[in-house]
Amino acid sequence: MDDVLYLFEQYPIFEGFWTNIQLAFWSSIAAFTLGVILALFRISPVRSLSWLSAAFINLVRNIPLTVLIVMSVLVFWGQLQINLHSNFDTNFFLLATIALSIYHAPFFAEAIRSGVNTVPQGQAEAARSIGLGFLPSARLIIIPQAMRGAITPIGNTLIALIKNTTVAAAASVTEASGVMRTMIEFNPNFMIAIFLIIAIGFSLIVIPVGLLTTWLSMKLAVVQ
């Protein structure tokens, strides 16, 4: 117990987890928004948009997240001298958020598209029969119904995003896994306590998301 108290007193553990939560929050909003756009392009009757979306999704999903984050630092900040904020730490936080958003957007897009596949074809045909175009029918009819069927895969993607925020350490963002490495480096004798603290911390963040996703998927399930 004294070991745990010592670690909490000497290292910014709560601040590290708070950074992970902020990364997950902003990245999930941006990634979900981009994912909806990609999903709309993917199911669009315009072939060029569908092809462009499919190419982007397949390309980004096959690039390791660490590579994207390192590229955002070495290329955009290091080579192109792009500064999103005057504060050094905030600038790296924003770069990591953008990289996380771009990486997870295709997964949100595919989750939403899986929900679109659960919508009966007759819904789209009925929308066309009353004169609705693609965007109005998608916005008013297809996507709202698709979201109900996509809750579980969207929740799984969100959980993956939360855990992947630890990769932001590659962009010099001080988050929980970075704090953990510092603690291990200077306190190897507290190894078990350090791992337990980080594991329990992430469990407290991820488990409520999983429970909420399960509850929503049951609450909003489409009755056959």
Residue 54's domain is classified under what CATH number? 1.10.3720.10
The pLDDT profile of the chain, 224 residues, written as one tens digit per residue, is 666 777 777 878 888 899 999 999 999 999 999 999 999 998 888 889 999 999 999 999 999 998 888 888 887 776 767 777 777 778 888 889 999 999 999 999 999 988 888 777 777 777 777 777 778 788 788 888 888 888 889 999 999 999 999 888 777 787 788 888 888 888 888 888 888 888 999 999 999 999 998 888 887 765 55
Q: Give the predicted TM-score (pTM) of the model.
A: 0.88
Q: What is the pLDDT of residue 92?
A: 85
pLDDT score at 8: 75
Q: List the one residue out of 205, 186, 200, 203 whose CA is nearest residue 6.
A: 186
Q: Please report how many Cα atoms fall inside a 13 Å half-sphere around the Cα of residue 139, on the Cβ side.
A: 6
Residue 200 domain flag: no
11 and 22 Cβ atoms separated by less than 8 Å: no
The string over 201-214, giving b where at least 16 C-beta atoms fall within 10 Å of a residue's C-beta and e elsewhere, is bbeebbeebeeebe
Q: What total number of domains does the chain contain?
A: 1
User: 119 lies in a domain?
Assistant: yes
* Segments forming the whole domain that contains residue 112: 22-174
Please state, in angstroms and rounded to a whole number, the distance separating the CA atoms of residues 216 and 4: 36
Backbone angles phi, psi at 81, to 5 degrees: 55, 40
217 within a domain of the structure (yes/no): no
Do residues 109 and 38 lie in contact, with contact meaning Cβ atoms separated by under 8 Å? Answer: yes
Residue 112 domain-assigned?
yes
Q: How far apart are CA 160 and CA 201, in angstroms?
A: 15
Does 135 reside within a domain? yes
Sole residue written with tokens 């936080």:
93
Residue 223 has a pLDDT of 53
Count the neighbouring beta carbons within 10 Å of the beta carbon of residue 47. 8
